[in-house]
Every structure is written in structure tokens, then in C-alpha cells.
Chains A and B, each alone.
Chain A
Amino acid sequence: MAETNGNYNVIGTRPVRHDGVDKVTGRAIYGVDAHMPGMLWGQVLRSPHAHARILSIDTSRAEALDGVHAVMTAADIPDPGAGVAEANESGLQSKRYKSASLMARDKVLFEGHPIAAVAATNKHVAEEALALIDVEYELLPVVLDVREAMKPDAPLLLDDLHMDTGGELADQPSNVASRTIHEEGDIEAGFAAADRVFEGEYTMSMVHQGYIEPHNALAYWSADGHLRVECSSQGQFGIRSELADHLQWPISKINVFPSEIGGGFGGKTTIYLEPLAAVLSRKSGRPVKLTMSRSDILRATGPAPGGYAWVKIGITNEGRITAAQAMFAFEAGGYPGSAVGAACLCAFGPYKLTDFRIDGYDVVVNMPKSHAYRAPGAPQGEFAVDSLVDEICEEMGFDRLAFRAMNASEEGDLRANGTRYHCIGNHEVIEAARTSDHWQSAIGSAPGRTRGRGIASGFWMNGGGMSTAVAQLNSDGTVTLREGSVDIGGTRTSVAMQAAETLGIPVEDVDPIVPDTDSIAFTGVTGGSRVTFATGWAAIEAARDLRKKMVDGLADHWDVASDSIVADEDGTFRQNGETVSFKEAAGILDGDDLRLVGSATVVPEGSGNTFAIHIADVDVDLETGKVDVVRYTAIQDAGTAIYPPYVEGQMEGGVAQGIGWALTEEYVYDDEGHMRNVSLLDYRMPTTLDVPMIESIIVEVPNPGHPYGARGVGEVPIVPPLAAITNAIADATGARMRDLPASPPKVQAAIAALDS
């Protein structure tokens, strides 16, 4: 664990995070806490069917109910027009499809699809009103499996969907929205050069992010046309632009307030309730609040896609990969836009490839529209690739880390998208795994259980994008730092630390706040592991700007030229033998009536890719198929670990979610497309008793593309757990779990199949 890497005063230290005390004492205000005088409560009527045509909707009885102030249907949402919009970590998305997913127009495509919404004096009246809305449906056959959905005779979800292959549209409509192909070199020659060729097929269930705070929105559309929205989101600006698109309303008249957020993990980078609350507010003239139940969240928000994967790897007797091929088909849900693209780009990320081909299919099925979930697409892809890699190592007798070292991608190697790796820490991570206490320790045993050890790799791209920060000097020498990124993982502090480092002041003297969209310039979504990198960079630039203005101000005060003043790393300013501290400088400038503000909007590139290796020990009960993770180590390149405790926090969180994904979490449907496990009792996220103490090893290979060397850290830790755990099960039992989750019935059946 790096205390600080010694190069910095603030970076690498472990201060108490700025928002910590309020959160642990229950005083922080979350989106779901928002309230306004005169507020109405909204409720959403949702489709009980997974695939149906809407023949009619009659809201008249609901409108007549006492206490009901407004009722809306899709007819109240303007047509956003053709075209696509950025779907925040989920690529581009058709605006018309997004609009139809907010509230069904002619068809429902998943159970829980919104049909209508009501605003009333309280929740109970609103709920009663829902029961008075009459909807006639014509039921249609449902498609729930990605491979079934791809068949030519499968029932069609969207009549106007034609498979897009690099801009070329198929003649016939189908459920396949797109096909992407990444191909380099000559795979036939590559496979011909192999001594052995391995193949495997893998399937995985849809899984939910499982954030604890439900979606919520409070909207107030004032008489002069200003729309104010408070909600729990991973980015107030993304919510604002989607609202502008879907309400056809000027951006300048929409102000979105970020709140503390009780988890998002990618799932809160888009709108669900916000436009409904806005329309109901406009219709009623009152503030309207909506929240989702857990069942609504599971049924009708954006989980990570499940799907199908096929992987083929050619290998020499020495253990070199000669060629690799993969096909991924992901369940996008009711509308196009799964994370299959990123699966294609990341699956082979840890490995050096020259000859490869990767095909990705984005397929619609009658399930909720999938959305971003932490390293979207990468865990599914890596599960398939690293399961096969493990099998290769076992079959051919290679040491699992030596194999990775021999085939590790490194600077200058080809990436799946045809570009080349910059400075990366893949080798350093492998070496840190090799020397880790976990890898060096004997595996041990537990009575009545069989223990196994698995490892897997992970790769994630990391994002850049636009960020804004404003550093405002106060008369007492403290700095108020406005930064545009919603803080979901301690980033207020990691961003403030970079400003403090630049200014040469303690981080406790920087007070970071996250303002509404009217109060700061554009900042991209909190996603893509981008905030510490990009918003941190904005804070560095804002701090530099502030310091330059302080120098200019002091130059005026002292009546010298600016370039005769030296601003030191410890925050002091020197001129001709005179030294003033940062605080003294602030006092002088305030006395001169200079209220100084430094600001910057940056669009940095070079976010720097990141790598991880996880080691898992599991105990398997051979009789029941129960798997317990008993020891777990996560090793990851963080670049410079700006704020180490929250690098570790991200690593631990990714592992905890990965354990659920690997072992117990799944979307269970009946044949008609009704989700059967719509509560946290039966949608089984791991509890504290299911997650062991997690050992985190931070590797620091500074990113040359950032002033302090930061890389993104939040996403890669969910990439390796799936294969690390199933590989451990294989090590313990000999049974390869190729279908996730590796739940007890499947594990027990796989063990029984080995015996027979």
C-alpha cells in the first residue's frame, strides 16, 4: 500500500474525505430526500406484459379521481426527431428509441415499460389513480434469449430495425441492431501456426448494478418556463441534455441540481423519471416528485447485458498465442445499445495479439434496455477469454502467471481497435501478483470443503472528455473549489487534492462543491473512470490560473513585474527577499479588493489504459455446490494513486460486485417474460457474510498523459472477478462453469457430471 510515492505533498496521502462525516452520520442530503412546498407525488403505470401492442389507453377515470392533478401518456412527450445522442458510457443511441423507452408509444417491449403517469396530492391517491387507467393490449410472442432472437424467423421487436454493419444496413429487418468487426493480420495463418487450438462457448445472465438509492426525480416547471430538476444522477449535464432533447426545451431554461448519490455504477447516467416528473409538473403547475420501487428498478432500469460468447485461441507448445478469435452477442434489451462494443475492445486487452478477429452483435430481446454497468461489456468479455486461457494453462501445463507474462500486451502493441498501447503497467501488475503474499502462500483447506485458487486478468480503456473546475480564493486563504463532477467514489477529495497540490496548500483548506448546471460550465458524466483524471486536470488548471492571478495581484501590490515573483511549491510567494505564505497573500489581495477566481475547462486525452489481476481462493461444498470466496487479492495499476484509500475502495467495491455476478446474481424470467426475482431477497447480491476481507495491492505506473500521472481506477476491478472465481471453482473441482452465475444448482450438477 503506497503511503505516498514521495514525490508529492498532498497526492498519495490519506485525508478524511470532505463529504465523509455527513455521510456516516446520516446528514447528507440525497436525491431521494428532496422536497418542495406544494409538491405532488407521481406514480408510473407500467406494462404487465413483456411484448404487446397497445390498442388503447383511456385515462379519463383516473383524471376524474379526487386529488389527481395531472395524468400523462407518451402523447405528452414530444417527438425528439430522428438522429442519435450520446448515451453516456453506452455509445450512441437513437433519440426516437430512447423516447419510446421512457414511455411506450405503440408497443411495449419489456415488462415494466412505462405506459402512463399520474401526479396526485399523495402517493396513495396516485396509486389508486393508476388502477383507473384502462389499457388494452394485444399480446405478442416474447423473445428472451439472444441466440433465439437472432434467428431469421424470430418474432420482431422493432419493425424498422435493420442490422448495421459499419454503416451498411441489411435489407430485411431483424432483432440484430448492429454487427461490429475488429480484424487485424491474418487469423488463418495465425491458427495454422498454432500447435493447438482451443475453443469455448460461454453464456451469462443479465445483472443489475444494485445501487441502494432508488431512482428519483423532483421537477418544478415554473410559470415562466424554467424547469428545475433535482435527482440522483451520475452527471447533472447529461440529464440536462437528455431532458432538452426529449422535452424539446432550450438548455438555458433547464437547471439540474446534483445531489448526493447512493450508488450508480453506470446505471444513473441516463433519464427515466426526470422527463415524466417534468411533464407532470408542467401539466399541474406544481412541483412533482417520483421515486422507483426496488421492483421497478430491477424490472425497468438498465442492467448489464447478458448474452453469448464464443472464443478461439491458437497456441504454440511454448505457450505463445498465435491467433485469437471471438464472437459476442449481447442482450441489449428492448431497444438497441448493449455494451457489446466495449466487450470486443477489452476482452483480449491483457494479451499481445497480432492476428485476430472479433465480431460483436447487438441484439434486442424483451428485457429492460441494458445500460452502462462499471466497465460496460468488459467483465462479460474477459470472463469468456480468461476462462479459456485458464483451460489452456491447465491442459498444456503452463504456469498461469508465466503464461500471462509471456503473452502480455505492452507499449506499442496493437489494440483491438487498431490503435497501439501507450505506456501501460501490464507487466508490473503481473509481477506484483507473482510476488504477492496471496500467490506465494499455500492454499490451505477447510474441513468438509474443497479449496481452489483461480486468477484472471482485466483491462479497461478509461475515458477523458470535458470537465470544468473553478477555484475561488477566499480572504482567509481557503479555496472554494467548484467542480462539475458528481462525486460517487470520493472524487471531491481526489480532485481537491490535485488543486491543493498545485497551490501548495493543505487539502483541508480546499472545499470542493458540486454545483447545479447553471452554476458551472459543462462537465461530462461521472463514468468511464474519468473524474480523477479529467476533472482533476481541470482542477490543476484552475489552480494554476488562480496562482497566476495571485502573482499578478501581488505584483500590483508590491509594484513589481509579475515575473519577478516566485511562487513556490509550498504555496509561498517570494519577491526580492520578502516571502509571504499563501494565507498572507490571500489577506493582502483581499485588502486590495481582489476577489480572485481561477477557472478551467479541459478536454484531456491520454487517459491511460489500466490493467488488473485478481487472485481468488474458494471453498466448494462438493455435496451441495455452494461456493464461498475465502481469500481474495486484487492487484491493479492505478497510475499515480492520487487518493489511495479510495483507489482501494474502488477495488474492493468492484470485487464485491464481481462476486455477486459470478455466483448468485441473475435475471430470472418465466416464459412470458415476467421477471420472477424482483426483490433483493431473490435477486441475490452478496451480503457482508459472502465477501471476504479483500487485499488490495496498488501498482503505480504513472500515466505520462496526466500532470500527476493519474489513470482511471473505478472500473477495471470488476473485470477479473468472474473468471477468477470460476477458474478457482475449476481448480477445486475440475468443473468448468461456462454459464453465469455459477449458482449452487449449476455447480452441483457440473460436479455430478464429472463423476458419471
Chain B
Amino acid sequence: MHAISYAAPTTVADAVSILAEHGANARMLAGGTDLIVQVREKLRDTTVFVDAKHIPDLTQLTVNADGSATLGAAVPCHQIYGDDAIVAQYPALVDACRIIGSTGIQGRASVGGNLCNSGPAGDTIPPLIVHGAVANIAGANGERTLAVEDFCTGPSRNVLGDDELLVSLTLPKPADGSGSHYLRFIPRNEMDIAEVGAGAAVTLDGDTITAARVSIGAVAPTPLFVAAAGEALIGQTAGEAAYEVAANIARDAASPINDMRGTIAHRKHLSFVLTQRALRGAVARARGMEVGHGH
């Protein structure tokens, strides 16, 4: 291991200029639960760590006047599930924050870091997608915004240029009668990476589904937004028949690989099973019922 440099900018502009100066050698450091491990294992040769945690825009979690929420990129999981307003509005994201790693990891691991790490199995990404989150990005050429489903471009790859950083995520206010759920399948009961993850958000008018979004993880090079699954639910009565249709669409959308974490056949099958379960949980929550967070 070589010597490394550490920078702690206090403004987005300073961070951008450090990133621009060092190019691919520099990376943002949020909780470090991915980055430090990867550098130690020589999976990345980062020599300049740019700490995100001294920049106010990146560390604040606010519910805005219009009811939407702005989630600073470096806000750790524990702060998210410790915030009652967030817990009430974005239960799928909260499900993910509660199952990442362990209590210790959740004290540092951020949602922004999870998204920017861009792993196909990143647990917060399907929830961000079903919540309709938008990424607020800053770089040498100014600012831009992008829907989270368009953020990842491949395993460990995303749209950010070397001079860009994720400032925050904006999550729109869910309509009345909404509920959401995220769950994943792991072979053990903790400390595992999702073999498949599935998130769903629905809005109900009585028993009728008026809006729905479905996203599955670990079954393609990036977390998948399965728009067709959500569209198929609209106008349907909430119930098993509707879930099965959506779950079949999710299974067809999945294009997983065989690896040490699972097989193609099992992952396809789990895409179906977990989509059903995520929808059941989302609908139950929309109806005001309690649903535990799954593995």
C-alpha cells in the first residue's frame, strides 16, 4: 500500500476542484465502508480521499416545505431510520437502511455511498428507484439532475465524471394512500449480499392500485427499474392475481448471472417470489398495516 492523501473540503465547489485536479486518482469518501475495503484489497488504486462529511450540503437530511425530502449524499443509514418523518414517508428505503451490514456498519454507511458504489446488489438502490428519487450532481461544468434509475451504468460504474460528485438525493412526497417495501434474499440471516432484492411502491385508491413502481437488484449489471411491472398494476385490484402478473414481468426482466452468490435459475425464480412479497408488503403498508423489514 502506498501513502495516501486526505482532503476535507467544506464546500461543494472545493470538493469539485480537488476532484478535477486529481482526476481518476481521487474519490469521494463518505462512510468508507466500501471504499476503504476496496482500496485495501487493491480493487481500486485511489490515492486521494476527499471526505464528504465536512460539506453541509452532503450531510443534511431535510423534509422540504412541499413535503419532499432532500437526503445529503453522506447521511448514514442510522440517521435515516432514526428520523420519524422519513420512516413514515419512505419505508422501502428504511427497510434497506436497516439491513445493510450491521448496527456498526449502519453508523457509517451512507445511501449516497451505496448508490455511488453502484453495485448491482446495492440494497438502497431499488428503494430509491421505487420512491422516484432524483440524484443532484455537481461538477466542474456545473450542476445536473438525473433519475436514480439512470444513474448506474454497469457493475461499479455510473454516470459521474471524474470531476463530479453526488450532492444529494431528492425524494418526492408520496401521494396519500401510498406504501412501499423492500426485501432481499440472502442465504444466511445477516452479513450477506443480496442474491436478489426487490422493492415496490404502490398508491391505492380503495382497493384499486393507482400508481406503482417496481425495481429489482442483483439480477442484471445494474439495479433494474421494471417500469412495465408497475404499469401492469395500475387500475388493478390489489391482490395476488395482480401481483403475479407484475412478478412475472419482473422475472422476465431479470438477466442474472451464475456466481458464488446464486444461480441464474434461482435468481430468476427469486425475482418472481420477491416481487410478489414486496408488493404484498407495500400494499399492506398502504393500508396502514405493520410489515417487518425482510433480510
Contacts and interface: CB of A to CB of B under 8 A. Distances in A.
Contacts of A664: 187-188
Given A677-B260, A744-B262, 11 more contacts: A127-B1, A624-B273, A626-B185, A676-B259, A676-B260, A684-B192, A689-B189, A743-B187, A744-B185, A744-B187, A749-B266
A745 B263 contact: yes
Interface of B: 1-2, 185, 187-193, 195, 259-263, 265-266, 269-270, 273
A679 to B, nearest CB: 9
Interface string A679-691: 0011010110110
Contacts of A623: 273
29 contacts: A124-B1, A124-B2, A624-B185, A624-B273, A625-B266, A626-B185, A628-B189, A663-B187, A664-B188, A668-B260, A676-B259, A676-B260, A681-B192, A682-B193, A682-B261, A684-B187, A684-B188, A684-B192, A687-B188, A687-B191, A689-B188, A690-B189, A743-B187, A744-B185, A744-B262, A744-B266, A745-B263, A745-B265, A748-B266
Interface in A317-370: none
Contacts of B2: 124
B189 A687 contact: yes
Interface residues of A, number: 25
A748 B269 contact: yes
Contacts of B261: 682
A292 to B, nearest CB: 15
B185 A745 contact: no
Q: Which of B193, B265, B266, B273 has the most chain A CB atoms inside 10 A of its CB?
A: B266
Interface of A is mostly: loop
A684 B261 CA distance: 10
A690 B273 CA distance: 22
Nearest to A666: B260
Contacts of B266: 625, 744-745, 748-749
Nearest to B258: A745
A624 B295 CA distance: 13
A230 B263 CA distance: 44
B80 to A, nearest CB: 23
A752 B192 CA distance: 25
Q: Which of B187, B192, B262, B265 has the most chain A CB atoms inside 10 A of its CB?
A: B187
A686 B265 contact: no
Interface in A610-639: 623-626, 628
A384 B269 CA distance: 30
Interface in A646-684: 663-664, 668, 676-677, 681-682, 684
Contacts of A663: 187
A124 B193 CA distance: 30
Contacts of B265: 745, 749
Given A127-B1, A745-B265, A749-B266, A681 B187 contact: no
Given A624-B270, A682-B261, A749-B265, A744 B195 contact: yes
Contacts of A677: 260
Contact of B187 (A124, A626, A749): A626
B70 to A, nearest CB: 32
B273 A689 contact: no
Contacts of A744: 185, 187, 195, 262, 266
A118 B260 CA distance: 33
Contacts of A749: 265-266
A749 B195 CA distance: 15
Nearest to A685: B188
Nearest to A676: B260
A434 to B, nearest CB: 31
A624 B260 CA distance: 17
